[in-house]
Amino acid sequence: MSMAPDLRARLAADYQPVRALRSPWARALGVLPLGLIALVAAPLAFDVRPDASRLGWFGVWGFSLLQSAIGFLVVAAALRESIPGRGWSRGAIALWLSMPLAIIVGITMFSWQFSPVMLRREFWVVGGMCFAGSAAMALPVVALTSILAARAYPTRPAIAGALLGLGAGLMADAGWRIFCHFSEPAHVLSAHLAAVIMSTVIGTLATISVAGVTSETPAE
């Protein structure tokens, strides 16, 4: 079965040597500086949470570093998903999506256990600020990773986008929790978790859009 002459001619017309993409893990390293900025921006701008002494270094920075590292892993998983033939199985996708949410719940419960701080007044105003701040911090990471994902050839852009949005949301919220001392689960699981979910939704939509645009551009 030989190639049709017209197909061959069309391929030859825009053929150029290309450099193969680096591994997803190596490409995810490009997101690391933005992830680190997201981690330290809120505590640097607004100070570290006042109950830091009660939680200790591990309870404040250690858990945030862990959450940020898991966010980084989810971003790398998203970049792997965006390569044809390297997509995750259904079970693995379910694990990648549920594990970070379980981590957030676990960290919330730990903080509540050792430093219970209720949000007594203006629940929705403070919640709205935490939601907006955390979601906004995730946007640069979402933008960069959705471009990285679309530069590959995501055959399931919605899944790749959801994973990278989730990863970015985790990285951003890891920094926000170093500043926000309201450990009440109702606040964290509404405002902070909602920001992570919002980032997941934005990642999904952004990747679908960017992948659609790049698939219409001529081959390299």
Count Cβ atoms within 10 A of the Cβ of residue 90 and give its class: 0-12 exposed, 13-18 middle, 19 or more buried: exposed
Minimum distance of another protein from residue 162's CB (angstroms): 18
Question: Residue 147 interacts with another protein (CB under 8 A)?
Answer: no
User: In 10 A of CB 220, how many CB atoms?
Assistant: 9
Which range in 106-114, 131-139, 149-157, 172-180 contacts another protein by CB under 8 A? 149-157
Count of beta carbons in the 10 Å neighbourhood of residue 195? 24
Scanning 81-89, 105-113, 179-187, 197-205 for contacts with another protein by CB under 8 A, the matching segment is 81-89
Over its C-alpha atoms, the chain yields an Rg (Å, rounded) of 20
Q: Check residue 220 for interaction with another protein (CB under 8 A).
A: yes
Residue 156 CB, nearest approach to another protein (Å): 8
Minimum distance of another protein from residue 217's CB (angstroms): 9
Q: How far apart are CA 155 and CA 85, in angstroms?
A: 9
What is the distance between the terminal CA atoms of the chain, rounded to a whole angstrom? 26
Positions touching another protein (CB under 8 A) are 1-4, 6-8, 10-12, 15-21, 23, 83-87, 152-153, 155, 215, 219-220
